Amino acid sequence: MPLFIDPMYFVFVAPALLLGLWAQWRVKSAFARASQEPAPLSGAAAARHILDSAGATDVRIETMPGHLTDHYDPREKVLRLSPDVYGARSLAAVGIAAHEAGHALQDAHGFGLMAVRNVAVGVANIGSGMGMLLLMLGLGFAMQTLAWVGVALFAGTVFFQFVNLPVEIDASNRAKAQLVNLGIVPSAEMPAVNAVLNAAAWTYVAATLQSILTLLYYASLVMGNSSDDR
């Protein structure tokens, strides 16, 4: 049976899937509530203020289509914000924009884990695709070594998630500090921003857990196949 329709896979990763669904619900609900709370600046203006105050004047800010598609591109030094964040003057918008600006500050200040993550993302992309291919070939042709190589390659995805989690948390912490220090959001209004960023952090926890459980599932397939060959 192909891996992607094996019911046992969903048994293995069920805790992560449930956590991910809960985290996504929290993000949407927290973002919706914070979107109703006004802010003195738009998301783009808040991000620009944070970047300029930290000396990261070379980072451009652009808008891009989609909902919550916000991200920082370290290769092009561009902070891309979704329409709901770029032009909106809400606590939700400035919170998300400040988080992405936090990634730009990590890049500008040489945050070590950010550099590791930038390298690990390539390893993860190769590991997630090539690892599964080699695993399936190894299992299909009873080649244990090849199957274990596939598992090892997929471990690169787990490594990326382990590095990515503290990077995301650090970006949120930088965002929270800058919003208050620069007077963009008064301390009394920060709970709404914290709710959005803390909810988003749980999505990364869920992704990390899912990668770990998927790795364990793949390893169990190889070990089970090894036992069947005896």
Residue positions annotated with a catalytic role: 100
Neighbouring residues of 220: CB distance < 8 A, sequence distance ≥ 6: 12
**DSSP structure string for 152-215:** HHHHHHHHHHHHHHHHHHHHHHHHHHHHHHTTSS-GGGHHHHHHHHHHHHHHHHHHHHHHHHHH
Q: What contacts 5, CB < 8 A, 6 or more positions away?
A: none
As a whole number of angstroms, the distance between CA 73 and CA 70 comes to: 10
Spatial distance between the Cα atoms of 70 and 62, rounded to a whole number of angstroms: 10
Q: What count of other Cβ atoms lies within 10 Å of the Cβ of residue 159?
A: 17
Provide the CA 50 distance to its chain's centre, in angstroms.
21
**Closest of 148, 52, 172, 41 to residue 108, by C-alpha:** 52
For 81, the 3-state DSSP assignment is strand
